[in-house]
Amino acid sequence: MTTSSAPGKVYLFGEHAVVYGEPAVPCAIERRARVTVEPRDDHRLRVRAKDLTLDGFTVTWGGDADDRPDVNVPTPLVEAAMGYIDGAVEQARDAADAPEAGFDITVESDIPLGAGLGSSAAVVVAGIDAATRALGTDLTSEELADRAYQVEHEVQDGEASRADTFCSAMGGAVRVQGDDCRRLADPPNLPFVIGYDGGTGDTGELVAGVRALKEEYGFAADTVEAIGDIVRNGEVALRNGDIEELGRLMDFNHGLLSALGVSARTLDTMVWAAREADALGAKLTGAGGGGCIVALDRTEQTHTALEYTPGCEEAFRAELDTEGVKAEPES
């Protein structure tokens, strides 16, 4: 058996705007997806997915089109999860020149599924790494990031950016603008606090909604560009270690994302709870529509406030994870 893990992420700035060529700065967090693969004697694929935060269900399926799990969860979410795993396997087969390779795969994750914390990117990155290593092929982190992006791009109907997959593969804080992806050197200690409403957003639908607004209204296009300006100012604050300025910019970024229609009442409620607890800044993270917010707070006040906020199902601290994808020892 071969096991790899990869981290989830939060966006300091730039989600949605990154789809249109603006920069974004995601940061890896110390919550991981782990993928274990064991080669089979045939070409079939069997997957067991555990701990995906959808009422603890377990999914097992084969590689046939009509062999799909029967579970009481939203079908698009399950189909997307299966698409990510299937895509990761195809990338591994291609990289190792082993088109008929079959696998037994187990997926375990600490990252809420569909919550804006990069669960799909982490599973894809870890899956490609584990499967290629099981087939005797080693890929660089950059190669893994590129292949994982190809999977997300296909599953998300061409609307994905390289941000999530690059961040998960490389770890730390990264800057992504189109195909220009790089790791940021020596980011300060970022006191992340995350609030999770237990929900999920439909990434494709939310991205399509922003695209429609941008095409119809000039001020919506200006809003997307303004998010890019926030990112550029945020990069300066990161270099200077100015956490207070980062927080102020996060507040601006959330307001612009709300104007683009991708927030939700629960997300806004958690953001305001964090601000009223004197967080340095707070915003939604990821596609929106439900899921998570991220705040900066050196104290325990935001964490405590979120625990008592209606609609917040879980609140937790998340350290910056400086490691990206990595091999895990056999258990």
Same domain, 38 and 95: yes
pLDDT in tens, 253-281: 999 999 999 999 999 999 999 999 999 99
Quote the DSSP letter at residue 182.
Answer: E
The C-alpha angle 15, 78, 259, rounded to 5 degrees, equals 25
Q: DSSP per residue over 29-83, as a string?
A: EEEEEEEEEEEESSS-EEEEEE--SSTT--EEE-SSTT-----SS-HHHHHHHHH
**In the predicted model, what is the mean pLDDT of the chain?**
88
Question: What is residue 53's predicted lDDT score, i.e. its pLDDT?
Answer: 43
Q: Inform me whether the pLDDT recorded for 123 exceeds 60.
A: yes
Query: How many independent structural domains does the chain possess?
Result: 2
Per-residue confidence band for 205, with pLDDT thresholds at 50, 70 and 90: confident
Q: Strand, helix or coil at 130?
A: helix
Cβ atoms 287, 117 nearer than 8 A: no
Average pLDDT over residues 213-237: 96
Question: What is residue 331's predicted lDDT score, i.e. its pLDDT?
Answer: 60
Same domain, 205 and 178: no
Say which CATH number the domain at 156 has. 3.30.230.10
Q: What domain range includes position 276?
A: 192-318
Average pLDDT over residues 112-118: 82
Question: What is residue 51's predicted lDDT score, i.e. its pLDDT?
Answer: 53
Helix 141-155 × helix 119-134 angle, to 10°? 120
Round to whole Å and give the CA distance between 299 and 277: 10
Same domain, 20 and 154: yes
Task: Tell me which of 164, 197, 202, 321 is the catalytic residue.
Answer: 164
Same domain, 179 and 218: no
Say which CATH number the domain at 262 has. 3.30.70.890
Task: Give the global pTM.
Answer: 0.87
Average pLDDT over residues 296-313: 96
Q: Inform me whether the pLDDT recorded for 234 exceeds 80.
A: yes
User: Which of residues 6 and 118 earns the better pLDDT score?
Assistant: 6
Same domain, 29 and 131: yes
From 268-272, 279-283, 298-302, 327-331, the region with the lowest mean pLDDT? 327-331
Structure tokens given for 191: 């006191």
Same domain, 18 and 165: yes
| Cα Rg of the chain, angstroms | 19
Same domain, 116 and 263: no
Q: Which of 140, 167, 185 is where one domain is finished?
A: 185
Q: Which of 185, 213, 242 is where one domain is finished?
A: 185
Round to whole Å and give the CA distance between 29 and 42: 37
Same domain, 245 and 223: yes
| Residue 242: active-site member | no
Same domain, 136 and 228: no
